[in-house]
Structure 1
């Protein structure tokens, strides 16, 4: 049985274009409508900060605070979540490079923002992701890592620790300091973290494959086949410790090559996510723009279904401008799929009529000049 996670109240202070805003919600889906630039996406971004990380825009904390605000921003939410009703407060503190993020759960300071995943999972789809299949591999890695983070919060720490160790190794090589003990220590750390990252990514793809492969050819959102390439591609059912040893040997053998290149040329930071339209058996990048959008929507919905299955709680979905490029029939099918997930979804659009198929399943909120009205 899947339980519903809902946000019942949201308050913002000095967040983006909002000096102050408050929104009371009744548990239904939320549709935010208004002209471009009114602050719809900013409100969605605020909800995305109820999860670890830098939000749906991946912005720095300093950029999120309202221009001219005397301090940082703050977000407060009342949530009926995975551990019952909870009050969540998060925001920024400090100035310049010293800006840090703060989090309080039921009035008590949290040790880490990862504690947010004890209460809710937040997933999103934005127009900036429309070029995912044709853009750089780094965008697809970030997309995949975000999927992994929703079920494995430690994945983010592994990735940041790997990057830190790799930067230290690169610096030593750039300075010509080929101390074998020091380099071996860093490479051992990179091997453990890098292989763990890769195995977590592959596990996520395996779990998703069981869901994305169920769509039929007539589905509004076609099925996709997923694969990871670019790092340790040939490793099958080999024990992790053996894979780590192989990666360490690869790093040791490539020291002079990496020194010449000015960067580490082998590792999980070079991997790429390959996506194919399963029914047509062609790469996603060769599909039409409409087919790429449908594949992406299908992936996000499949991931949301996976999160609900694995955690027992449906995630909160943030779908920015989701209806803009869909005809009436496809919009209705999309809304039915979203509703079937059993969670709460936030959606934005300039035209309220595009969401008419939702009927009473949604609460409509007008956004105009940073003012919210039901």
Structure 2
């Protein structure tokens, strides 16, 4: 078990919601627009980053019409390990600073990145169904989120790399001091190499986990990491220096981890995922999510958020999904509009009826 005693205050359409006595499987059932996905989004914010919707903080506080009721929200939860509370974690904003996210762990202020040191959170939502046909940047974010669940410090390196590249672009554009440019490129190379190596390691571990899965009922994908440049610090630093004239003309760095790509093909056919049917793409995405869930639950608590997944699977795939999730160690949260798709796990799940931002334990 990972999270319990979960509270939402003025978050989205939830004025004050609580979820206690959670289980391995946790189900949120209700009509469209009731607030089910809002609960998953709240849980996703108990990790670094912008959550599963990547929403602006100012848009998260509960509103009456177009105006925020309080200008602030709060999310809290107790982290459980081996039946004992190991930490109380939470994130919130304040009315006078609605765009600044604050975090507390055991009552003390902390950084958002510190949340990943306590547990891993990952998710699969309908908005991710187009991942394989989306931009390379979307796939990098997907890989980074998965990597963060394994490497808690990954977010800091990604942020430091992005900041260094932005500063380098400005210096190249304005013709800034060469010594300062050397220093910025050294930072970009140092953090960039770590980012690239973390991504490569994650994809390798995922590939190993996926290779052990049968090709059916979920389509097994083959993953390949394509680095956007050298992954060694010295080589990356030399490439940044060599490419200055070209990057100055382009207005951006054309080589580096910010150009990494994740390539996915279906194992049984060798067809690139982007060219597969929507059903095959969904099946491969679920397979990746399940494989990652195994990795993420090794060594620390983990939470997997699945939004409207069961309803879009046939009975065979749905039964297999529940079987694999049941064998895992991570806590699972799922949403649906009715109970029928969850008949296989109804007897062992914690279930809440969601309606108008209110929760009722069933």
Range into which the TM-score falls when normalised by the shorter chain: over 0.9
Measured against aligned partners, the alpha-carbon deviations of 1:333-362 in whole angstroms (never above 9, x if no partner) come to 111111111332110111221111213121
Q: CA deviation at 1:202?
A: 0.5
Shift of 1:192: 1.0
Residue pair 1:9, 1:24 contacting (<8 A) in 2 also = yes
CA distance in 2, matches of 1:76, 1:276: 40
CA contact (8 A) 2:296 2:302 kept: yes
Counterpart position of 2:318: 331
2:210 is aligned with 1:209:
no
In the alignment, is residue 229 of structure 1 matched against residue 226 of structure 2? yes
> In the alignment, does 2:278 pair up with 1:289?
yes
- Residue 53 of structure 2 is aligned to residue 57 of structure 1: yes
- TM-score relative to the length of structure 1: 0.90
Whether the 8 Å contact between 2:7 and 2:16 is mirrored in structure 1 is: yes
CA deviations on 1:190-238 (whole Å, 9 max, x unpaired) are 1111111101110111111110011223x22232221122513xx6xxx
Alpha-carbon RMSD: 1.9
- Does structure 1 residue 365 correspond to structure 2 residue 352? yes
Distance 1:138-1:157 versus aligned 2 partners, 3 A rule? same
1:99 is paired with a residue of what secondary structure?
Answer: strand
Which residue number in structure 2 is paired with residue 12 of structure 1?
8
Structural mapping, 1:26-41, within 5 Å: 26-41=22-37
Give per-residue Cα distances to partners, 1:255-279, cap 9 Å, x unaligned: 2221221111111111111111122
User: In the TM superposition, what are the counterparts of 1:120-199 in structure 2 within 5 Å?
Assistant: 120-175=119-174, 177-199=175-197
TM-score by length of 2: 0.93
Shift of 1:170: 0.7
Q: Gaps (5+ residues) in structure 2?
A: none
Structure 1 partner of 2:258: 269
Q: Which runs of 4+ in 1 moved over 3 A?
A: 81-84
The alpha-carbon deviation at position 10 of structure 1 amounts to: 1.4
Instruction: Note closer, same or farther for the CA distance 1:368–1:342 as it changes in structure 2 (3 Å cut).
Output: same
Post-superposition offset of 1:79: 2.6
Please state how far the C-alpha of 1:174 moved relative to its aligned partner.
1.7
Q: Measure how far apart 1:178 and its partner are.
A: 4.8
Q: Distance in 1 between matches of 2:44 and 2:206?
A: 22
Distance 1:14 1:52 in 2: 20
Between the aligned partners of 1:91 and 1:213, the Cα distance in structure 2 is 41
Alignment match, 1:244: 233
Deviation at 1:113, TM superposition (A): 2.5
- Aligned-pair CA distance for 1:53: 1.7
Report if the CA contact (8 A) 1:81-1:119 is conserved.
no
Residue number among 22, 25, 31 corresponding to 2:21 in the alignment: 25
Structure 1 26/298 Cα, relative in aligned 2: closer, same or farther at 3 Å?
A: same
Q: What secondary structure does 2:16 align onto? A: strand
Find the aligned partners of 2:48 and 2:139 in 1 and give their Cα distance: 19
Query: Is the 1:202–1:228 contact (alpha carbons within 8 Å) kept by the matching residues of 2?
Result: yes
Of 137-146 and 110-119, more deviation after overlay is shown by 110-119
Shift of 1:116: 2.2
The answer to whether structure 1 residue 102 and structure 2 residue 98 are counterparts is: no
TM-superposition CA deviations, 1:293-347 (whole Å, max 9, x none): 11110101101101223x1x45211000011211122111111111111332110
Query: In 2, are the aligned partners of 1:215 and 1:222 still within 8 Å (CA)?
Result: no
Q: Which runs of 5+ in 1 are unaligned?
A: none
Shift, 1:69, TM fit: 2.4
